[in-house]
Structure 1
Amino acid sequence: MTSTAAHHLRHIPLGLAFAFALLVNPARADEGGVSFWAPGQFGSLAAVPSDPGWSLALSYFHASADAGLSKNFLVGGRLTAGIDATADLVFAFPTYTFAQPVFGGQAALSVGWAAGQARGSAGIGLAGPRGNSFDSSQSDKVTGGSDVYGLGTLKWHDGNDNFMVYGMFGIPVGAYRVGRLANLGTNHGAIDGGGGYTYFDEKKGREFSIVGGLTYNFENTDTHYQNGVDAHVDWAASQFLSEQVHVGLVGYFYDQLTGDSGSGATLGPFKSRVAAVGPQVGYFFPIGAQKGYLNLKAYWEFAAENRAKGWNVWLTLALPLSGAR
């Protein structure tokens, strides 16, 4: 990889171009299969600093997941038998990267929001006359906006080694209604924090990135359900085939460390976990004197416990908005 290609990397919003596609999926983990953290958010070159100024990441996300009828979930306060869900969302995530160092590193602040549609279906237990009950298959669809997300990062660069710490929070303003099978919001706040590392050999065009963190969830006051503490690890590796193109693998591991709680957690601790792996490809393209970036990555899930599993695809377009320096 030439120094020109390496220079291009400093002119795009790397932390988001390779990383961001945050969403609320109707069938992932915790209450109703929904978690604040979407595994796979961070990817290749996640800890590599970028140029100061404004940048914008636009992400399209499609996810599909299901669980068998033998698995029960609490969705919107209702007990369901299995779940089959899909989601399509488009995210906008503007970012400002500061020129002045903070603790010797590069600081950046971002805010994100998405609009799209979620669809879900499941078996619902219904109460009948004389205390009898019967099962019914129901489906639901919602179109609207997601919660609002804030992200702050601090990155350091030392030769081939790059380090990062981050903090994140969610404000529950997304489309949500108790009893609905499909929601775009979690109806509870959350905070998340962690760190990451990227090894990037610019001469050979090789990189490996890994980011880990913990999520604390506040209680959903409408359902009196509080998700446990979640741990997550995202990783990615890639090889540059030219100055414009790189290919590689991505993956994640998600594990709930503490059980769900609250009077609404009638299924008990309901700890969940999942792992995934898949391919990725990235492409740099000119925007005047700078470079934009397009990334496509896909994940296939396995080893799921107490959650629906499936596959998801992220397509991210990263654009530098500030002038070249």
Structure 2
Amino acid sequence: MQQSTNYKLGAFCMAACLSISAPQAHALEGGTSAYLLGSRDSFAGIVPGAGTYVGMDFITFSGSIAGLSLGGLPIAADTDVDVNLIKLSFTHVFGSTLWGGTPALNLNIPILDADIGFQAISGPLAGDDISDETSGIGDITITPMVGWHSGMLHYSAGLSIFVPTGSYSTASVDIPGRSIDALSNGKNIWSIQPVLSMTHFNPKTGREFSGATSFLFSENNEATDYQTAPAFTLEATAMQHLPSGWAFGGSGYWYEQLKDDSGTGADNTRAALGVDSLRSRAFGLGPIITYSDEMFGRPVSFKLKYYKEFGVKRRFESDVLWFNATMTF
């Protein structure tokens, strides 16, 4: 296909976002993980030629959960969350060889605006509609990676490092004001995520199959003594690319915690919610559309995707709408 190179370059930049910090909004302290599910999709396994790739993501999602822990405060009530995210992504691919492959470095900077709401069902605020909101820079992510190519098969290995740069504070309750201060911009923990990604792309037919598997490990949140258990994520995407630069397909993911959370914070959350386990799980599925072309003499790519989550347990069950624009320099 004549535009296969543009597909690879543009779509890689979108896929090279690789990871994104989520707001500290159970299992899963805060109802979300450090990694935003569905970040790896089309051309996830491709590391292109040397250059700098700059992307911007606009993400909005809303979800609900039946009880969670926020900033060390167990909330035994149905809770709704709405989040708007702008993410700046910078990827530099080096003009050198490492372990027989192409090395690259990615940086993600999320800027978020989030709010939650629930009706208190116990304690001094029982019966009141409670809400909280926050905005600002979240936890940034740094991902070194190396990519290899073998005919129509492309694969890469990376390590995402989630840095606790977002502001964080434990929850406080204002009884006279009938309110709480529980949301933070960051998760107050370091996390790492080794990831393996692969793409099979046939430039003659335009068919693409991409997938990524990763494991997320987080340190203990000392402010709340909450240890989020390791989690496994599998993401997959199938696309049909057209000579016009458009591509259509579907994308999905499976997220599963490998064991239960631990620590005093997790014990208190289990007791408050009256549950035996906080292990979380989620599935997501939805359509994806991309378009690759040139603008101002530079390769540019656009992507729009939507995820509907189902089978969710002990984390926010969300609807996610995601738009990305990426340019190569």
DSSP-derived class of the 1:9 partner:
helix
DSSP-derived class of the 1:7 partner:
helix
* AA of the residue aligned to 1:155: G
Give the equivalent residue in structure 2 for 1:154: 146
Range with bigger deviation, 52-61 or 260-269: 260-269
Kept after mapping to 2: 8 A contact 1:54/1:94: yes
Match of 1:121 among 117, 120, 123: 117
DSSP-derived class of the 1:264 partner:
helix
C-alpha distance 247-54 of structure 1, shift in aligned 2 (>3 A): same
TM-score (norm. length: structure 1): 0.90
C-alpha distance 29-88 of structure 1, shift in aligned 2 (>3 A): farther
* AA of the residue aligned to 1:319: M
Identical residues among aligned pairs (%): 24
Give the equivalent residue in structure 2 for 1:36: 34
The reply to whether residue 239 of structure 1 matches residue 240 of structure 2 is: yes
C-alpha distance in structure 2 between counterparts of 1:213 and 1:20, whole Å: 11
C-alpha distance in structure 2 between counterparts of 1:97 and 1:160, whole Å: 20
Taking the TM superposition and a 5 Å limit, the aligned residue runs for 1:77-92 are 77-80=72-75, 81-92=77-88
TM-score (norm. length: structure 2): 0.89
Q: CA deviation at 1:84?
A: 0.1
C-alpha distance in structure 2 between counterparts of 1:113 and 1:93, whole Å: 7
Q: CA deviation at 1:54?
A: 1.2
Long gaps (5+) in structure 1: none
Q: CA deviation at 1:177?
A: 2.2
The reply to whether residue 280 of structure 1 matches residue 275 of structure 2 is: no
- Please tell me the root mean square deviation across aligned C-alpha atoms, in Å: 1.9
Kept after mapping to 1: 8 A contact 2:240/2:249: yes
Give the equivalent residue in structure 2 for 1:53: 51
Match of 1:294 among 292, 302, 306: 302
* AA of the residue aligned to 2:151: G
C-alpha distance in structure 1 between counterparts of 2:116 and 2:249, whole Å: 32
Taking the TM superposition and a 5 Å limit, the aligned residue runs for 1:1-325 are 2=1, 4-12=2-10, 14-17=12-15, 20=18, 22-25=20-23, 30-67=28-65, 71-80=66-75, 81-124=77-120, 127-128=123-124, 134-179=126-171, 180-265=181-266, 266-268=268-270, 269-321=277-329
Kept after mapping to 2: 8 A contact 1:19/1:44: no
Kept after mapping to 2: 8 A contact 1:13/1:50: no
* AA of the residue aligned to 2:79: I
Long gaps (5+) in structure 2: 172-180, 271-276
How many residue pairs match? The answer is: 312
Query: What are the superposed Cα offsets for residues 193-244 of structure 1, whole Å, 9 maximum, x if unpaired?
Result: 0202111111100001110110111111111111000110111111013331
Query: What are the superposed Cα offsets for residues 43-80 of structure 1, whole Å, 9 maximum, x if unpaired?
Result: 0111122120211111111011012xxx3211111121
* AA of the residue aligned to 2:133: K
C-alpha distance in structure 1 between counterparts of 2:246 and 2:155, whole Å: 24
Q: CA deviation at 1:126?
A: 5.4
